Structures are given as structure tokens and as C-alpha cells.
A = this chain, B = another copy of it.
Amino acid sequence: MTMAEQGALTRNDFVSDQDVRWCPGCGDYSVLANVQRVMPELGVPRENFVFVSGIGCSSRFPYYMNTYGFHTIHGRAPAFATGIKASRPELSVWVVTGDGDGLSIGGNHLLHTIRRNVDLQILLFNNRVYGLTKGQYSPTSRLGMKTKSTPDGAIDHPIDPIAFALGAGATFVARTIDVDAPHLQETLRRAFHHPGTAFVEILQNCPVYNDDEWIEVEDRKSRVEAALVLHDGEPLAFGGKGKRQGIRIQDGVPSVVSLANGEDPTAEGVAVHHERYETPAYAFALASLQRPAYPIPIGVFRAVERPTYEALLEQQVESAVGKHGRGDLDALLRSGDTWTVEP
């Protein structure tokens, strides 16, 4: 399909001919459906989309997208994607990874891709377990989680993907939920439009090996108390009628303040959410909020602009051409000291 026709793109244009092979009830289905819904809106010709993944249930994703796709090896997807994007900045490159693929074996590539600010959308499906290998604990699993490989319970302190990404210097960081279609779709749009690495943690349910891990925020009722939904420019408030509460951050230390109905949160010192603080410190303070003491923040934590890796690379090429002119092979071979042997 060509640029001209792409106005005509629909969800079905992004459905591949392979049958989807996830367990019944897997959160991945919902994410796939919503990605396929959002694609047509993005104004990108289908042939310019590339989906890159590692290994894991979630990493089967590219097979189901009728775009260019590369199901690579375990943990390395961000590096493959970096090669693609640095080579061809005009492509829209999406990385699909899991909590094991992205944060266990692949943590280092994620770290460096984020700090380089390569313009990728990275979707990390966090089901807090290794699905494909049938249920071992992952770097995001809770302390004490009993799995096949930890019959006495996990003893490693889990990684928080958002805190990790901020520690890596991420320019765009967001968290969303597999089953919340509108929020998920909006987050995907935001990620796409962000120039630079857009890191999105998707809370995903694995009914087979770690069912209901995120039920508190997946369930619309409990979510009211359990989730802190972020809105740029609005106070950090959550909780239902009569139970309104807010987040105050003093000297970098967050705390919960309860709010009598109706009253203005900021008066109580509740912080107002800003995505664009130059410092990552504020976003990190949000990331540090953990259940059960605090609600789980959902939404865009941080969105700041910084030149992308591939743009700076292109600039170096262009300015080099500007300085030396297009490379001349003959001139290169004859540069420096040479001598002639006469016949």
C-alpha cells in the first residue's frame, strides 16, 4: 500500500494471517486489539511500521501484526530496533518485550536504548512472571512469590520498571493497563508522538501463571482507590466520594493526605502533576509510590524533549558531507603519503 492510499487504512489492515496463539483470557489479546485499532490513526503508511520483539509470550506479538516484523532473540530487541531506527529514521519502530525479556536478560539493552533516546516505542508487558517458560518468577515478581523455580518463595527485591527507566534518563515514561482500552489507546498515541524513546509499562494479566496480579487496578471499582490516574496540570488526587486523598511531596518525600470532600487539594499541599519538569526527580517520586501504602500511578509520568540518537547521527553525516563533500573513494585511497613506481 502506498502513502496515497493509507488514509484508507483500517484495523483489519494490521491483522496478519497467522492465528493468535495465546492462552484463553491472556491480557495480550487486549493489547494486540488496541494496537491494531490505533495504528490506522497514526498517519504512517503500513509498510513503514516495524515491530521488533525478543522471546516470550508477549514477544510473539509481531507475528500477529500485518506490518514488517522481527521476532529476534531473548532480551536483545531494543538493540535490533536501535540498528533499524538508526539506519532508517523514517520508519516507525515499535519494540514489544516482557518483564523477563526486557528486565532480566535484556535489562542492559533497555538501559542503553533509553539513555540514547532512540525514537522507539517500547511496550513492556508486565505480567510479573515468565509465561512462555511456564511460570518462573521474574524481576518484577513480588518478594516471596512461590513459583516452580522458587518453591520457598522469591528472595530478590523486585525492579520497578518505571523507576528503572527514570534512572536510565528516560524522556517519556508511562504506565497503562491491558484491559483499559481508552487509556491504553491514548497512551499508545502519546508514545507514538513523542520524539525519542517512549517507554510504556503495560500491566498485563497472565491467567495461567499469575492470575489477577493487577486485579486491583484492572477492576473498575477497586481502581478508584488503588490507582492514581495522572493528568497533566491536575493535582495528585485519588479515591472515591468521601474518601478523596492526595499525594504531597515534601523535601522529595511523598506522603498521603486525606481531603475533605470538595476542598481544593493544592491548599492541602497536594502536588500538581507536570509531565515536563526538566528534572526526573518529581517523576521518580511518583514511581516510588507502591501498594499497599500508596495507589499505583497510571498515565504519563514524564514527557520531555531531547534530541534523538538517530537525529544526531544524521546530523553528523550531513555536517561531515558539508565539511568534506560526499566521500570520494579514490581520494581516500590516495590520501597521505604515497609514492609512484615508474614502469
Contact = CB atoms under 8 A, between A and B. Distances in A.
Interface of A: 104-108, 111-112, 115-117, 139, 152-153, 155-160, 163-169, 249, 251-254, 271-272, 277, 279-286, 288, 306-307, 309, 312-313, 316, 319-320
Contacts of A271: 251-252
Contacts of A282: 251-253
A281 to B, nearest CB: 4
Given A104-B112, A155-B312, 9 more contacts: A108-B108, A112-B139, A117-B157, A167-B284, A252-B252, A252-B254, A252-B279, A252-B285, A281-B281
Given A107-B107, A280-B288, A163 B155 contact: no
B116 A112 contact: no
A236 B252 CA distance: 13
Contacts of A112: 104, 107, 139, 156
Nearest to A152: B316
B115 A111 contact: no
Contacts of A166: 163, 167, 284
Nearest to A272: B251
Oligomer copy total: 2
Contact of A281 (B139, B252, B312): B252
Nearest to A155: B312
Nearest to A159: B115
Contacts of A312: 155
Contacts of A155: 116, 307, 309, 312-313, 316
A116 B107 CA distance: 15
Contact of A279 (B117, B139, B288, B319): B288
B111 A159 contact: yes
A201 to B, nearest CB: 14
Contacts of A167: 163-168, 284
A116 B320 CA distance: 46
A99 to B, nearest CB: 13
Contacts of A313: 155
